[in-house]
């Protein structure tokens, strides 16, 4: 039985370990920290959507969301609840040109198998979402999008993976890859060397750094992103969908009796970090950002108590086209990667991990892999720039 080492126990590594174990491999997952899922996965807004604008991404995210919809059955964990709130995703604009693009995008999505996205404008939009400001002109909406608990999903994958004899090794840092005869044959840890037939890098922001220890340069860059969580507040409509200002990218969604807010502001790439320091001013900027289209945020901001605001930061692992790199690393046999999810790793985890396992098991030919590490045009690509 081929032996595989998965490096990194975020949602991507743990989902990968599950699908690889299910495919019959002997799998060991190495995680540096004392617990799984403590890095980028813990900083996520945990939102999931199929509303993409590229046919490959649409199909991929549909697969992932269907998996999340039936998570307990898929993994045979009858009582496992990942808290999937299908309250929808609403992309809103005040701009005529963007509204026209939204209309075209919805037609394109319908033509590519995503028939349940709605295009809304004027009265119909405001009747349905009365918390929106008068300037809101148009929006796209899909009810089946929403958010999950990434933590519960990760724990479900771990439990199911254990049934396939996957072993989880916490506090086990991969210091470097071991290369012999041009091939990656294992990893070096402080407690000794681990040999394997294949090593899968699922180390989030640390993926490129680890690849470099085998003289491989992956086009991945960590970029800091923030999240603010507001505790209980009466002014927040708790039934609302994830609401995105498509003109600026500022967005928020309900979170229990409060809300979670984020905004992918332009920021230069930074070295990978185990503890990402947030910018304290982000809270003010993001509240200003979401207020533009949702005026109730002014009331929240004016009455907000300091101990009711929780600011976090993590790092997106960004690829040139904002799509993941999944599969074997060219010219370095034995080395595989599953990373570069930008803002989409939680939503993409089930389909990505399934694809990785199918590629490793030879069930999907490399030519049919849309996220290949050496896909044509990756470096020059624009990709889907809705990096929420």
Task: Compute the least distance from the CB of residue 175 to ligand FAD, in Å.
Answer: 7
Does 202 engage in binding with ligand FAD (CB under 6 A)?
Answer: yes
Does 283 engage in binding with ligand FAD (CB under 6 A)?
Answer: no
**Encoded tokens for 282:** 């982000």
CA-based nearest residue to 29, from 40, 38, 39, 20: 20
Task: Compute the least distance from the CB of residue 261 to ligand FAD, in Å.
Answer: 10
Whole-number Cα distances in Å, 249 to 218, 243, 292 = 27, 10, 11
Does 289 engage in binding with ligand FAD (CB under 6 A)?
Answer: no
Q: Could you say which of 341, 359, 371, 386 contacts ligand FAD (CB under 6 A)?
A: 341
Q: Could you say which of 6, 137, 261, 262 contacts ligand FAD (CB under 6 A)?
A: 262
CA-based nearest residue to 28, from 274, 213, 150, 195: 195
DSSP structure string for 294-341: -THHHHHHHH--GGGEEEEEEEEEE-TTSS-EEEEPTT-TTEEEEE--
**How many residues line the site for ligand FAD (CB under 6 A)?**
42
Which residues partner with 187 through β-bridges? 177, 194
Does 138 engage in binding with ligand FAD (CB under 6 A)?
Answer: no
Site string for ligand FAD, 160-179 (x = CB under 6 A): -------------xx-----
Q: Could you say which of 19, 84, 168, 316 contacts ligand FAD (CB under 6 A)?
A: 316
Q: Could you say which of 4, 6, 10, 129 contacts ligand FAD (CB under 6 A)?
A: 10
What number of other Cβ atoms are within 10 A of residue 246's Cβ?
23
User: How far, in whole angstroms, is CA 304 from its chain's centroid?
Assistant: 29
Nearer to ligand FAD, 43 or 114 (CB): 43
Task: Compute the least distance from the CB of residue 351 to ligand FAD, in Å.
Answer: 12
What is the enclosing helix (H) or strand (E) of 198? strand 198-201
Which residues partner with 252 through β-bridges? 243, 261
Task: Compute the least distance from the CB of residue 15 to ligand FAD, in Å.
Answer: 8
CA dist., res. 301 & res. 280, Å (int) = 15
> How many residues are present in the chain?
388
Task: Compute the least distance from the CB of residue 103 to ligand FAD, in Å.
Answer: 25
Contact 85, 147 (CB under 8 A): yes
Task: Compute the least distance from the CB of residue 338 to ligand FAD, in Å.
Answer: 7
Stretch that binds ligand FAD, among 30-38, 89-97, 178-186, 231-239 (CB under 6 A): 30-38
Task: Compute the least distance from the CB of residue 131 to ligand FAD, in Å.
Answer: 20
Contact 283, 250 (CB under 8 A): no
Task: Compute the least distance from the CB of residue 50 to ligand FAD, in Å.
Answer: 12
CA dist., res. 48 & res. 83, Å (int) = 12
With the C-alpha atoms ordered 60, 224, 266, 241, is the resulting torsion angle positive or negative?
Answer: positive
What is the enclosing helix (H) or strand (E) of 110? helix 96-111
What number of other Cβ atoms are within 10 A of residue 25's Cβ?
23
Nearer to ligand FAD, 9 or 289 (CB): 9
Stretch that binds ligand FAD, among 54-62, 76-84, 337-345, 351-359 (CB under 6 A): 337-345
Does 357 engage in binding with ligand FAD (CB under 6 A)?
Answer: no
Q: Could you say which of 5, 17, 347, 356 contacts ligand FAD (CB under 6 A)?
A: 347
Task: Compute the least distance from the CB of residue 321 to ligand FAD, in Å.
Answer: 15
CA dist., res. 375 & res. 367, Å (int) = 10
Within 207-246, the residues that bind ligand FAD by CB under 6 A are: 210, 225-227
Please report, as ranges, the residues that interact with ligand FAD according to CB under 6 A.
Answer: 7-13, 30-33, 38-41, 43-47, 173-174, 202-206, 210, 225-227, 262, 314-316, 339, 341, 343-347
């Amino acid at each position: 039985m081929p032996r595989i080492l998965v490096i990194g126990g975020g949602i991507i590594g743990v989902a990968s370990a599950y699908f690889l174990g299910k495919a019959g491999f002997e799998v060991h997952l190495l995680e540096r920290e004392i617990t799984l899922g403590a890095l980028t996965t813990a900083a996520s807004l945990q939102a999931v959507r199929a509303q993409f604008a590229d046919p490959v991404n649409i199909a991929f995210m549909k697969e992932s969301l269907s998996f999340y919809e039936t998570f307990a059955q898929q993994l045979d964990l009858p009582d496992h609840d990942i808290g999937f709130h299908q309250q929808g995703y609403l992309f809103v604009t005040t701009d005529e040109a963007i509204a026209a693009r939204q209309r075209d995008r919805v037609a394109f999505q319908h033509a590519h198998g995503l028939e349940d996205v709605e295009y809304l404008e004027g009265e119909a939009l405001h009747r349905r979402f009365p918390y929106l400001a008068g300037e809101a002109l148009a929006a796209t909406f899909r009810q089946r999008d929403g958010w999950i608990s990434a933590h519960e999903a990760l724990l479900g994958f771990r439990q199911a993976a254990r049934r396939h004899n996957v072993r989880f090794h916490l506090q086990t840092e991969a210091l470097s890859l071991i290369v012999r005869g041009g091939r990656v044959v294992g990893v070096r840890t402080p407690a000794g060397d681990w040999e394997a037939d294949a090593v899968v890098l699922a180390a989030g922001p640390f993926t490129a750094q680890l690849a470099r220890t085998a003289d491989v340069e992956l086009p991945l860059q960590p970029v800091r992103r923030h999240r603010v969580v507001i505790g209980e507040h009466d002014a927040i409509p708790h039934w609302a969908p994830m609401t995105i200002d498509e003109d600026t990218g500022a967005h928020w969604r309900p979170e229990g009796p409060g809300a979670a807010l984020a905004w992918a502001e332009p920021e230069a790439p930074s070295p990978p970090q185990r503890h990402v320091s947030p910018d304290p001013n982000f809270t003010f900027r993001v509240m200003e950002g979401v207020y533009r289209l949702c005026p109730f945020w002014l009331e929240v901001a004016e009455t907000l108590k300091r101990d009711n605001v929780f600011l976090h930061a993590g790092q997106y692992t960004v690829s040139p086209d904002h799509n993941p790199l999944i599969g074997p690393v060219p010219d370095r046999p034995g080395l595989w990667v599953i990373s570069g999810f930008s803002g989409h790793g939680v939503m993409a985890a089930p389909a990505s991990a399934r694809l990785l396992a199918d590629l490793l098991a030879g069930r999907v030919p490399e030519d049919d892999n849309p996220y290949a590490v050496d896909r044509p045009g990756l470096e020059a690509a624009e990709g889907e720039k809705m990096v929420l």
